[in-house]
Amino acid sequence: MYGGGTKDPNRKSVHRVLVHSYFTTLIFFLIGAGLDIFLGLKIPDTAIIAPAGLGFLTAGTALIVWAQYASHHFVKDNLSHENFRRGPYRYTRNPTYWGLFLVLLGFGLAWNAVFVIVFTIISLFVTKTIFLKQEEAILEEKYGDAYMEYKKSVHI
């Protein structure tokens, strides 16, 4: 281990929750893509579906980049709920999850992959009901009242 320290494998970590969440999202995506390949169900072609998909892909990517930039500039000194309200975090507590959702939804629309769209929506519900609850419990424990105030002020 670098730095001579040892890590507690039972330690609660937001990053561990994120890894599990992203891996679960990947599994749902692969299931959807596999079903699309084998079953070939398509949305009736309209001129708006592919451009809308590309728009969602672009918006989702931009949201993820913006969220990563904002989170790398998080200030832990004199912690208050305003410290959490940087970049897209002033609008949503989970911009990276929303960005990933938009990217996958955009992919499903742009490539007319019905099952990718369906499993992307299922993945969002799994993420919100399982992983976001775990992540927020860790953040509440780590940052206390400042995070609780932030959580009250930004609801989605």
Mean pLDDT across 138-148: 88
- Indicate the range of 24-28, 80-84, 90-94, 143-147 predicted with least confidence: 80-84
Report pLDDT digits (tens) over 6-37.
454 456 788 899 999 999 999 999 999 999 99
Handedness of CA 131, 133, 138, 140 (dihedral sign): positive
Q: Specify the pTM.
A: 0.84
State the chain's mean pLDDT as an integer.
87
Question: For position 2, what pLDDT does the model report?
Answer: 35
Q: 3-state DSSP call for residue 82?
A: helix
Highest mean pLDDT among 9-18, 67-76, 86-95: 86-95
Mean pLDDT across 135-146: 89
Band of the pLDDT at 4, cuts 50, 70, 90? very low
Question: For position 75, what pLDDT does the model report?
Answer: 64
Question: For position 1, what pLDDT does the model report?
Answer: 31
Highest mean pLDDT among 11-20, 66-75, 110-119: 110-119
What is the CB neighbour count within 10 angstroms for residue 130? 14
Band of the pLDDT at 155, cuts 50, 70, 90? confident
- Indicate the range of 25-29, 47-51, 81-85, 103-107 predicted with least confidence: 81-85
Backbone phi and psi for residue 23, each to the nearest 5 degrees, phi listed first:
-65, -40
Handedness of CA 53, 57, 58, 64 (dihedral sign): positive
User: Looking up tokens 């709920």, which residue turns up?
Assistant: 81
